[in-house]
Structure 1
Amino acid sequence: MKRILKRYICSLMVLPAVLATQSCTKNFDTLNIDPNASTTPTPALIFTKAQYDGTANMANLLLGTMQYTTSYNDVAGFGSKYILAQAQASAGVFSTAYTNEINELVEVLKAVGDAPDKVNLKAEARIWRVYCFSRLTDLYGDIPYSQAAQGYNQSIYKPAYDAQKDIYADLLKELDQAAQSLDAAKATFGSADLIYGGNTAKWKKFAYSLMLRCAMRMTKVDIAQAQTWATKAIAGGVIMDDADIAKVAYVGAGQNININPLALNLWNSDYIAVNGSSNIEGGKYQDVFINYLKANKDPRLGVVSIVYNGGNADTTSAIQKGMPATFNAKPADFVTYSEPNPKTVLLFASPRLVYTAAESYFLLAEASLRGWYSASSAQSLYENGVTAALRQWSIIAGSAGTISTAQINSYMNAHAFNNSGTTEQKLEQIYTQFWVGLFPDAQETFANYRRTGYPALTPNNYPGNATGGKIFRRMLYPISEQNLNPESYNAAVARQGPDEFLTRMWWDKQ
């Protein structure tokens, strides 16, 4: 045994020398270069990826919070039940954003720089960066912004959190400058731009539409600035036609990146069995959403919802039924509850709508009520918003989503604008239609719900919830921030308030 050990130890002593001899070759530089890597970034390719990532990074749990969906499974049902044990499920968007779309956009902007011939590339990257950051701050409040994703470039590994008030001021400034710098005579990202194919006129409308969204977000915290920026956005020109809707198209096959991310997530997490019974996470539509659609004879019911009847997907309105968010076990009649339609909501090849004409019209209706927009009445803007929201399902799903003109007119007649109501009653009508009209963009309806209080949802006081039976106001930061970036995290908490679900961010005031 001693002789064996002696030989083994000697061989270990010799091995490094042998390896060193073998590794030292005259082709050292060539052998240590990855032939598939580039030392020069290609902005167009990175921008494409940033668009995919920014569109895919959604807080899908908010579908439950906005009472569109629910689950009898406590883990999957966090969004509709606010289970304390699943609180960190809310941190996912934060963690994903900085390693993907935020980091990618920093690299795009660094690569294009201030070159005069790349002014459109810079502008479009700035506008998309505003979209990504605005969605992020609207979920968490104060977040890393001015120092974000600068570890590689500036060795900032513990970025400070910016106050949301300051973030919003810079987002609006970025949109203003980017929109004005767009130049139709200069180069664009072309086909690498998944949203508009480089069309600068449409990018300008998108920029001013995001400006309108951000401006209206500030109505309860800084009404003067809200009016200033909303007026500027309206003057610049916002999205009001279906042809200008900001959307990312998907081919629906091949790698996952080519599939509508919401459809793919819902499909894989719940509905892949296609039988209404073997739903992996126990998900169904929530009764609040389905009851609303049925009570209002909404033609979207048969577009978005099905019940598996004898193994077949049935869109008949009479049999649609939403599941309560109070269930903690699979009900015996689980198969009889409604779930997303595979031909529309779960369609892999459907586009992901980023900003719609319907949203613009609803926000403009409020602006009209406030006296900030005089070109159209609140009534006509409301009507345009409702009809645009009904039409857009044909954009999402083609013939399977098409709602006829007769159906649209019938629905509109039954939901005429309440001209004789108070301003508050009018706002409730506008933003209840906003809630049903922007589905399935739960993240935007969540933000608007916190600002306006509409629709008037009843919270779910489920046993073991983290909020005392209240709908939460923000998401929680990742635990990793407490461990890896404690100084910045603690400074943000000291300024904004406890890292808790009910802490209100800057624009979310009573």
Structure 2
Amino acid sequence: MKKIFKYISLLSIGVSILACNNFDELNTDPNSAYTTKPDALLSYAQKQLADYLNTPSVNENNFRLTMQYWQEVTYVDESNYDFVTRNISNNVWLDLYVDTMQNLVKAKSIINEYVPTATEQSTWPVTKANQLAILDIQQVFIYQTLVDTYGDIPYNESNSIESTSLPKYEKAADIYTDLISRLKNDLSKLDPSGSGFENPNDPDRSGDIFYKGNVAKWQTFGNSLLLKLAIGIADHNPSLAQSTATLAIGNGVMTSSADDCLFRYLSSSPNFNPLYENLVASNRNDFVAGKTLVDYMNASSDPRRAAYFDENVTPYKGGTIGTPSSFAVNSHIGDFAYTQTTPGVIMNYTEVAFYLAEASARWGIGVAPALAYANAVNTSLSEWGVSTTDATAYLAANPYNATNWKKSIGEQAWVAMFNQGMVSWNFYRRLDFPVLSAPSTAVSQAEGKVPVRLQYPVRETTTNPTNYAAAAASIGGDKLTTKIFWDKF
């Protein structure tokens, strides 16, 4: 950690200066000097977060492989949970703590130090509060992602580069509780009557690529994130989870795809979707559909197959998990992954609809569980272009099972989160469905199981050894099989 944090500020400031308010100019001229603005830092942070969550790069995000959606063609290390050879945890740590988080921290600093002009005096207090809250909501999202990935992590000291280069780790459960309080406070500060990061002259040039400065949309996103935090601790702290979920739903979560938090990629390099980068621009054929998912969808004649997979082979066929799989004889990933401008998903209504289904099943919040389940499944089917007729038939064949609601919601969430591997991993660990088996060829560190966390970066063992050792002991061992605190069953 020491070496990482020694160059965080230089790295984040350096790359952020290259950013500008218009996304398509993010990489205009690396040799030119730009004035660092919070808008530019926000744009850069959002792109880095979107790239991490959506990339299929085996060097960073392997959750599509872990959840057995995809299978590697030739090099199958990651399908067998070898995350050490490519230093994957190191890369994830840098993606989230450095490239994303520190740009948000720097943006906050600039906003706090800004002295408004005379014409801004009357509106600046509301604008400032909105901007700081929007930035912090994104930090809450990132910290939750880090906790869900590793367990105990550096938290309060992780942004204090000037005071410590050896940040201590804090208990994951305590961080979650603080994130809930922090997010509630952020939401209380948002005022849709004021400005955010929008560009009044040209919305498309807003520094806020997710919502173009729309404060009301950030309220909806924040409440949806609050619901996600609540569902995350449903088995750990049911009372806090239920009260938080009730508050979030009552205040207004996503209700349609119009509320989706997306990153709009462009058609040209380097700003096209990282799926396209890895599947097309790389000139490599590294991935095919995974047998586990394909077999499940074939068994239920799932109408989403036509969108998820290419029809290069009939019937649809998936590569055996953990085994080299021919690109010629197995189903390829669908057209969405071969399209430059496919939006990158941060959070969407389909994900939220499944949280609502889970809240209904657990606590009776909202509509009846069977209706909430049907809405979640229908939302996914609609997202992938399935007709109303086919959606009705699919739901009739796959009804809600009240006696085993975790299986119903868990399996359908798994199918629905096909392009959101990290989110799917959370559903899987929390609900224990679908039932997935590790390949017999998996690395010994997996102990014959599908991993339930990533190990800490190897760099931490040498640069921040004392705090690393304390964290490893606190969580029960730095292993792929050590459960995150909320993973109770």
Q: TM bucket by the smaller chain?
A: 0.7 to 0.9
Which residue does the alignment assign to 2:432?
A: 453
The whole-number CA distance in structure 2 between the counterparts of 1:509 and 1:217 is: 11
Query: Residue 56 of structure 1 is aligned with which of 27, 32, 51?
Result: 51
Which residue does the alignment assign to 1:376?
A: 367
Which residue does the alignment assign to 1:259?
A: 272
Q: 1:171 to 1:263 in 2, by over 3 A?
A: farther
The whole-number CA distance in structure 2 between the counterparts of 1:136 and 1:266 is: 27
Q: Secondary structure at the match of 2:399?
A: coil
Which residue does the alignment assign to 1:42?
A: 37
Q: Secondary structure at the match of 2:328?
A: helix
How much has 1:54 moved relative to structure 2? 1.2
Which residue does the alignment assign to 1:208?
A: 223
Q: 1:35 to 1:70 in 2, by over 3 A?
A: closer
Which residue does the alignment assign to 1:93?
A: 92
The whole-number CA distance in structure 1 between the counterparts of 2:467 and 2:83 is: 25
Query: Residue 291 of structure 1 is aligned with which of 273, 290, 295?
Result: 295
Q: 1:370 to 1:86 in 2, by over 3 A?
A: same
Structure 1 contact 240–358 (Cα < 8 Å) conserved: no
Whether 1:438 and 2:424 are equivalent positions in the alignment is no
Which residue does the alignment assign to 2:460?
A: 481
In structure 2, what residue type is equivalent to 1:389? S
The whole-number CA distance in structure 1 between the counterparts of 2:217 and 2:98 is: 28
| Greater than 6 Å deviation, 4+ residue runs | none
The whole-number CA distance in structure 2 between the counterparts of 1:405 and 1:412 is: 11
How much has 1:169 moved relative to structure 2? 1.5
Which residue does the alignment assign to 1:27?
A: none
How much has 1:133 moved relative to structure 2? 1.6
Structure 2 contact 445–479 (Cα < 8 Å) conserved: no
Structure 2 contact 288–325 (Cα < 8 Å) conserved: no
How much has 1:260 moved relative to structure 2? 1.5
Unmatched 5+ stretches in structure 1: 1-33, 274-278, 310-317, 394-401
Which residue does the alignment assign to 2:333?
A: 340
Which residue does the alignment assign to 2:66?
A: 65
What's the CA shift string for 1:108-149, capped at 9, x where partnerless? 111222962311111110111111121111101111111113
In structure 2, what residue type is equivalent to 1:231? T
Which residue does the alignment assign to 1:105?
A: 104
Q: How does 1:74-93 map to 2 (within 5 A)?
A: 76-83=75-82, 86=85, 88-93=87-92
How much has 1:103 moved relative to structure 2? 0.7
Whether 1:361 and 2:361 are equivalent positions in the alignment is no
In structure 1, what residue type is equivalent to 2:100? E
How much has 1:403 moved relative to structure 2? 2.2
Query: Residue 302 of structure 1 is aligned with which of 306, 323, 326?
Result: 306
In structure 2, what residue type is equivalent to 1:413? A
Q: How does 1:213-228 map to 2 (within 5 A)?
A: 213-228=228-243
Q: 1:35 to 1:297 in 2, by over 3 A?
A: closer
Q: How does 1:236-275 map to 2 (within 5 A)?
A: 236-253=251-268, 255-256=269-270, 258-268=271-281, 272=283
The whole-number CA distance in structure 2 between the counterparts of 1:195 and 1:236 is: 21
Q: How large is the Cα RMSD of the aligned pairs?
A: 2.2
Q: Secondary structure at the match of 2:310?
A: strand
The whole-number CA distance in structure 1 between the counterparts of 2:442 and 2:250 is: 50
Q: Secondary structure at the match of 2:191?
A: coil
The whole-number CA distance in structure 1 between the counterparts of 2:281 and 2:448 is: 30
Which residue does the alignment assign to 1:3?
A: none
Which residue does the alignment assign to 1:176?
A: 184
How much has 1:36 moved relative to structure 2? 4.0
Q: Secondary structure at the match of 1:353?
A: strand
Query: Residue 416 of structure 1 is aligned with which of 392, 399, 408?
Result: 399
Larger Rg: 1
Structure 1 contact 63–79 (Cα < 8 Å) conserved: no
Query: Residue 148 of structure 2 is aligned with which of 109, 134, 138?
Result: 138
The whole-number CA distance in structure 2 between the counterparts of 1:463 and 1:378 is: 37
Q: Secondary structure at the match of 1:407?
A: helix
What's the CA shift string for 1:79-106, capped at 9, x where partnerless? 4312376484344211222221011011
More moved, 107-116 vs 197-206 = 107-116
Query: Residue 148 of structure 1 is aligned with which of 141, 158, 164?
Result: 158
The whole-number CA distance in structure 2 between the counterparts of 1:223 and 1:189 is: 36
How much has 1:472 moved relative to structure 2? 1.0
Which residue does the alignment assign to 2:3?
A: none
The whole-number CA distance in structure 2 between the counterparts of 1:86 and 1:508 is: 27
Query: Residue 493 of structure 1 is aligned with which of 472, 485, 489?
Result: 472
Structure 2 contact 290–320 (Cα < 8 Å) conserved: yes
Structure 1 contact 435–445 (Cα < 8 Å) conserved: yes
The whole-number CA distance in structure 2 between the counterparts of 1:463 and 1:356 is: 32
Q: Secondary structure at the match of 1:426?
A: helix
The whole-number CA distance in structure 2 between the counterparts of 1:262 and 1:296 is: 27
Which residue does the alignment assign to 1:158?
A: 166
What's the CA shift string for 1:409-451, capped at 9, x where partnerless? 2222222223xx41xx122111211111121101111012111
